[in-house]
């Protein structure tokens, strides 16, 4: 994995020899101690499996209403053996929709965070490494974006575009790179003056090579932690957008748009299964990712511990 | 100190330009022209075409930007497309409700978050600290709309302690005290929803700041000279631990205003957030952009105040710059 490649002249490798002392192994040993992080990892593995296998596992068609033997629709049916978590107001199976919605949340999280991390690392590295006016321009843009409440900005842009899952991914990715950029800039400023970077410069190594081959591997740990925590945020944002009706659109299920039904006081009062389970699904997923992020922070770099 | 404030004010200027420029650019991609939305819509179309030329809508973008900026400075945020109301007036009408909600949530999250953080830090690695840690993780992970809906279900629908939505009971008869109690009851649930994530962050931040301060030499000295545990923790440690927490003053403003969108929608709270959602549904772009500009200016202003407060509290910053 990326962060294990120690460039020449970097911090000395662990003096212990053999697999026991490898960085991944050590990190895993520290990670295992954090029970919450282990729980989070377990839950996420389960969720990924369910999402991939959703077509096989889902007991019913998640996109359309189910007709029962009498030829009528089972609308808002209570949880039963047939519908383990009941059906929604259009008579669709809640459990099947939950499984398919997991796919939406995970893909939005992964794609948007990939976009924001690539952008953030690129702009943060440019600002930190080159300094001067490059730094000033990029950091002023970061400050401006920070002033807009992210939710406002995302809602505005998604209202301008046609709401869809694809647009949600892009928008979240394009708006949420600023935190990563700030982080990477700070880390690069710290590493830039270290001897091994100065040595590479003196040897005439191209700036691009220095950044990509020598600096980035050394600041991978905080970037990875940041990306993990951003995934949790992205999933929350997607759910909120879909809840408000400017995100993922029906009939595609998303935990957010499933919860939207709770806006009807009748559903809220009498049909708890329609809104409770998607809510718990979001909570558990985001919680698990945050636990993982916290565990990674402690495991990858013990020095980071306690740093916010 | 004065030099610091002047310097800080100067760095605000490019941000002001950036914010207005970004808003202006987003408005360029909205249907309808930004200048068009500023014309009173009761004017006939023939006059409009002539006005378009007279107003210089064919001028270079940069000229248009400065003219638009002039209108903003004079307090004109444009008119709504359908009803021709003044956007600035609409926002000002909704402002008090949002301020009531955000300020309550803001105060609550600090008043509860800081003591919980201190409590957690002084009982580091105990069961209670662990419990509070899990609580803070839930606080940042729970979607506000789910938390809001769950609170309504539990406390409004099932227990009937608080009303489900709105700012106050309509046509309430009673004394001034009754009206105040009624308002407070309406405020509790939405304020709680808005405060929770902020409270969790403040708690974590206070905890780590406090733990760090408690390892300092002067704390050991204070203990060694026989001061009581209480005096050391609250008089010596907390005073320094609280300084970084002040930075959260500024940082929590955009989060709170962003949260207003969702919270106000769930609770039918007649503030800027629900105005924003209504405007999105009815495609009132001038209102959406007006809200964007207005809130980002509020955030900018809030950050400025937070930074000045920070300098007042921390002599290292006050004197170094």
- Residue B131: burial class (beta carbons within 10 Å; 0-12, 13-18, 19+): exposed
Burial A128-159 (b: 16+ CB within 10 A, else e): bbeeeeebeebbebbbbbbbbbbbbbbbbbbb
> Any idea which residue has 């606080």 for tokens?
B139
The answer, for B12 touching chain A at a CB cutoff of 8 Å, is no
Structure pTM? 0.84
Q: Are B30 and A160 inside 8 Å of each other by CB?
A: yes
Distance from the Cα of B175 to chain A's closest Cα (Å) equals 31
CA dist A134 and A147 (Å) reads 20
The pLDDT of residue B38 is: 57
For residue A34, give every residue at least 6 positions away whose Cβ sits within 8 Å of its Cβ, in sequence order, or none.
Answer: A291, A294, A295, A298, A299
Q: Do B296 and A283 touch (CB under 8 A)?
A: no
CB B266 within 8 A of CB B189: no
The torsion angle over the Cα atoms of residues A205, A207, A212 and A214, rounded to 10 degrees, is 50
User: Minimal CA–CA distance to B236: which of B249, B220, B251?
Assistant: B220
d(CA A122, CA A128): 10
Which DSSP letter does residue A204 get?
A: T
Query: Minimal Cα distance from A283: which residue of B?
Result: B142
pLDDT for res A92: 82
Q: What domains can you pick out in chain B, each with its CATH number?
A: 96-282 (1.10.3720.10)
Instruction: Tell me how far apart the alpha carbons of residues A5 and A28 are, in angstroms, rounded to a whole number.
Output: 16
Yes or no, beta carbons of B141 and A232 under 8 Å apart:
yes
DSSP 8-state code for residue B232: I
**Which segments of chain B have a pLDDT < 50?**
34-35, 321
Task: Inspect the interface and report whether the beta carbons of A283 and B146 lie closer than 8 Å.
Answer: yes
What residue ranges of chain A have pLDDT lower than 70? 1-21, 68-71, 302-308
Give the nearest chain A residue to B160 (CA atoms): A269
Q: How far apart are the CA of A90 and the nearest CA of chain B, in angstroms?
A: 21
Q: How far is B155 from chain A (nearest CA, A)?
A: 12
Question: Are A282 and B157 inside 8 Å of each other by CB?
Answer: no
Give pLDDT, residue A160: 74
Please list, residue by residue across A18-44, b when 16 or more beta carbons sit within 10 angstroms of its beta carbon and e when fewer do.
eeeeebeebbeebbeebebbebbbebb
Of B22, B261, B265, the CB nearest to A144: B22
Helix then strand then coil, % of chain B, to nearest 5 = 80, 0, 20
Distance CA A230, CA A110 (A): 10
Cβ <8 Å between B153 and A141: no
B101-154 residue pLDDT tens: 999 999 999 999 999 999 998 888 889 999 999 999 999 999 998 999 999 989
Q: CB A268 to CB B259 under 8 A?
A: no
Q: What is the C-alpha radius of gyration for chain B, rounded to an integer number of angstroms?
A: 24
Picking from A141, A160, A306, the nearest residue to B211 by CB comes out as: A306
> Token pair for residue A140?
């002023």
Q: How many residues does chain A have?
A: 308
Tokens of B31: 């249907």
Which residue from A243, A269, A287 is facing B145, i.e. has the nearest CB?
A243
Domains of chain A: 102-304 (1.10.3720.10)
Tens of pLDDT, residues B78-110: 787 777 788 888 999 999 999 999 999 999 999
Phi-psi region of B151 (alpha: psi -120 to 50; beta: other; left: phi over 0): alpha
Q: How close A285 comes to chain B (CA, Å)?
A: 9
| Closest C-alpha to B22, from B206, B293, B209, B260 | B293
The answer for residues whose C-beta is within 8 angstroms of residue A25's C-beta and 6 or more apart is A19
Minimal Cβ distance to A287: which of B26, B137, B205? B137
Contact A141 B296 (CB under 8 A): no
Q: Which of B15, B144, B261 sits opposite A152 (nearest CB)?
A: B261
First to last CA, chain A: 25
Pick among B127, B134, B145 to test the A interface (most A CBs inside 10 A): B145
User: Rounded CA gap, A141 and A145, in Å?
Assistant: 6
B25 touches chain A (CB under 8 A): no
Place of tokens 């990892």: A41
Alpha helices in B143-271 (DSSP H): 144-151, 176-214, 217-224, 229-230, 238-266
Residue A60's pLDDT is 77
Preceding omega of B277 cis (within 30 degrees of 0): no
pLDDT of residue B179: 81
Indicate the SS3 state at residue B19: helix
**DSSP secondary structure, A135-155, as one string:** HHHHHHHHHHHHHS-HHHHHH
């Amino acid at each position: 994995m990326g962060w294990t490649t120690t460039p020449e002249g970097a911090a000395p490798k662990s003096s212990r020899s053999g697999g026991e002392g490898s960085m991944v192994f050590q990190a895993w040993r520290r990670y295992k101690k954090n029970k919450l992080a282990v729980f989070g990892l377990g839950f996420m593995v389960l969720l990924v499996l369910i999402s991939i296998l959703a077509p096989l596992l889902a007991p019913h068609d998640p996109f359309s209403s189910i007709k029962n033997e009498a030829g009528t629709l089972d609308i808002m049916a209570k949880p039963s053996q047939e519908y383990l978590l009941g059906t929604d107001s259009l008579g669709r199976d809640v459990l099947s929709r939950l499984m398919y919605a997991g796919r939406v949340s995970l893909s939005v999280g992964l794609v948007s965070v990939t976009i924001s991390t690539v952008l953030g690392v690129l702009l943060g590295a440019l600002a930190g490494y080159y300094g001067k006016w490059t730094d000033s321009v990029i950091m002023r843009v970061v400050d401006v974006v920070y002033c807009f409440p992210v939710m406002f900005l995302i809602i505005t842009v998604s209202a301008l575009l046609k709401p869809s899952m694809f647009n949600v991914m892009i928008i979240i990715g394009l708006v949420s790179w600023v935190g990563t950029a700030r982080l990477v800039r700070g880390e690069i400023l710290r590493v830039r003056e270290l001897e091994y970077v100065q040595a590479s410069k003196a040897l005439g190594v191209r700036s691009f090579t220095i950044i990509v081959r020598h600096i980035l591997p050394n600041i991978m740990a905080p970037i990875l932690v940041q990306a993990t925590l951003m995934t949790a945020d992205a999933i929350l944002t997607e759910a909120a957008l879909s809840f408000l009706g400017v995100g993922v659109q029906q009939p595609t299920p998303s935990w957010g748009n499933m919860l939207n039904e709770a806006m009807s006081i009748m559903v809220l009062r009498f049909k708890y299964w329609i809104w409770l389970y998607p809510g718990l699904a979001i909570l558990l997923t985001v919680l698990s990712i945050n636990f993982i992020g916290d565990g990674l922070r402690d495991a990858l770099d013990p020095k980071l511990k306690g740093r916010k | 100190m004065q030099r610091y404030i002047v310097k800080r004010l100067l760095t605000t200027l490019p941000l002001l330009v950036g914010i207005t420029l970004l808003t202006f650019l987003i408005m360029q991609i909205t249907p309808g022209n930004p200048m068009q939305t500023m014309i009173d819509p009761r004017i006939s179309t023939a006059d409009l075409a002539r006005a378009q030329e007279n107003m210089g809508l064919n001028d270079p973008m940069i000229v248009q930007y400065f003219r638009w900026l002039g209108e903003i400075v004079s307090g004109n945020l444009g008119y709504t497309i359908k009803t021709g109301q003044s956007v600035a007036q609409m926002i000002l009408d909704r402002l008090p409700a949002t301020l009531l909600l955000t300020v309550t949530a803001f105060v609550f999250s600090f008043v509860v978050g800081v003591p919980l953080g201190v409590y957690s830090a002084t009982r580091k690695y105990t069961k209670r600290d662990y419990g509070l840690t899990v609580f803070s993780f839930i606080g940042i992970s729970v979607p506000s709309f789910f938390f809001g809906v769950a609170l309504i279900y539990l406390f409004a629908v099932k227990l009937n302690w608080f009303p489900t939505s709105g700012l106050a009971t309509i046509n309430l008869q009673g004394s001034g005290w009754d009206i105040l109690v009624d308002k407070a009851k309406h405020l509790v649930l939405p304020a709680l929803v808005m405060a929770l994530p902020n409270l969790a962050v403040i708690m974590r931040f206070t905890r780590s700041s406090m733990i760090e301060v408690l390892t300092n030499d002067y704390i050991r000295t204070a203990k060694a000279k026989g001061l009581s545990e209480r005096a050391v923790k609250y008089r010596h440690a907390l005073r320094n631990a609280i300084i970084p927490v002040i930075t959260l003053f500024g940082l929590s403003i955009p989060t709170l205003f962003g949260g207003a969108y969702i919270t106000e929608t769930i609770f039918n709270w007649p503030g800027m957030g629900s105005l924003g959602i209504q405007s999105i549904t009815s495609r009132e772009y001038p209102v959406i952009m007006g809200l964007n500009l207005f809130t980002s200016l509020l955030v900018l202003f809030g950050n400025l105040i937070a930074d000045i407060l920070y300098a007042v509290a921390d002599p290292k910053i006050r004197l170094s710059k």
